[in-house]
């Protein structure tokens, strides 16, 4: 088999309990890689002090991924407002990327201008532990897991979202996730179905006294709950709402710069 050595190498890593990066892990750098435009790409250098999001796809010229990269290109201005950079990754080479980008333009009306990293021999996919042995291509090689990794400026993983090959990503949700994560510095969490401008939840570790200091007297509302009704002198109510600290607007200084990295 053409990729037998790679399969063996991946299985050896798998047997050694090498695992896919997860929340709070530092995402490894991808240095010296090729993209559709250069043969010396460095992920960390490209992202700089930004955040980042990494998307895994099975490869070029796949139907669902074609629509996804078109959607990403369309939303690039929205990500730019939040300081977000876009980047992609694929197990194909630069020539394939260039042709695929032309197809994406015709299929979606959008032009992909952000870099797409090349990994035709799956060296990076192997080292990252992102190959799925239950999902093979036409030559029998495992394909990449379709996960999205949201990175903090220190390159640690803040959140992960994984999709099957048959389901396209919801880019509105990815944008919402970035908005919510970038509000973390303000001492709030985001409830179910939260959207920018909606009320946020006071960060759980804060006592009520600390919340008063942070948000001001009367700056949050306590939800009266049966489990707390009999407790006297409670220092912390666990469900407290406060206004969106960004009032529905993107705060560039608070949010910092972010980056999106698609693995295709």
Active site residues: 65, 154
H helical segments located in 48-132: 63-74, 76-81, 94-108, 123-128
Q: How far is CA 158 from CA 52, 81, 155, 179, 181, in A?
A: 9, 20, 9, 12, 8
d(CA 203, CA 147): 27
The dihedrals phi and psi of 261, each to the nearest 5 degrees, come to -125, 110
Can you say whether the dihedral through the CA atoms of 250, 259, 10, 132 is positive or negative? positive
H helical segments located in 112-251: 123-128, 171-182, 208-215
Residue 5 CB partners (closer than 8 Å, separation 6+): none
Region for residue 230 given its phi and psi (left: phi exceeds 0; alpha: psi -120 to 50; beta: otherwise) = alpha
Please, what is the end-to-end C-alpha distance for the chain in angstroms?
23
- Report helix angle 63-74 to 94-108, nearest 10: 70
Q: 171, 37 in Cβ contact below 8 A?
A: no
Residue with tokens 């194909």: 92
């Amino acid at each position: 088999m053409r990729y037998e050595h790679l399969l063996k190498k991946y299985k050896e890593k798998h047997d050694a309990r090498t695992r896919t990066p997860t929340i709070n892990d530092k995402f490894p750098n991808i240095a010296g890689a090729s993209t559709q435009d250069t043969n010396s790409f460095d992920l960390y250098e490209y992202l700089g002090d930004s955040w980042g999001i990494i998307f895994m796809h099975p490869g070029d010229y796949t139907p669902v991924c074609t629509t996804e990269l078109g959607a990403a290109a369309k939303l690039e201005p929205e990500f730019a407002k939040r300081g977000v950079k876009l980047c992609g990754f694929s197990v194909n080479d630069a020539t394939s990327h260039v042709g695929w980008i032309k197809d994406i333009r015709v299929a979606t009306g959008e032009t992909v201008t952000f870099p797409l990293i090349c990994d035709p021999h799956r060296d990076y996919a192997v080292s990252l532990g992102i190959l799925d042995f239950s999902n093979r291509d036409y030559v029998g090689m495992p394909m990449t897991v379709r996960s999205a990794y949201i990175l903090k400026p220190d390159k640690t993983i803040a959140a992960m979202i994984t999709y099957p090959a048959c389901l396209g990503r919801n880019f509105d949700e990815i944008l919402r996730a970035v908005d919510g994560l970038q509000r973390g510095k303000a001492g709030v969490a985001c409830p179910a179905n939260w959207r920018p401008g909606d009320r946020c939840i006071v960060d759980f570790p804060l006592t009520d006294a600390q919340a008063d200091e942070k948000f001001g007297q009367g700056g949050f509302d306590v939800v009266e709950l049966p489990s707390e009704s009999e407790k006297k002198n409670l220092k912390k109510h666990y469900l407290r709402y406060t206004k969106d600290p960004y009032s529905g607007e993107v705060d560039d200084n608070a949010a910092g710069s972010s980056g999106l990295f698609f693995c295709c």
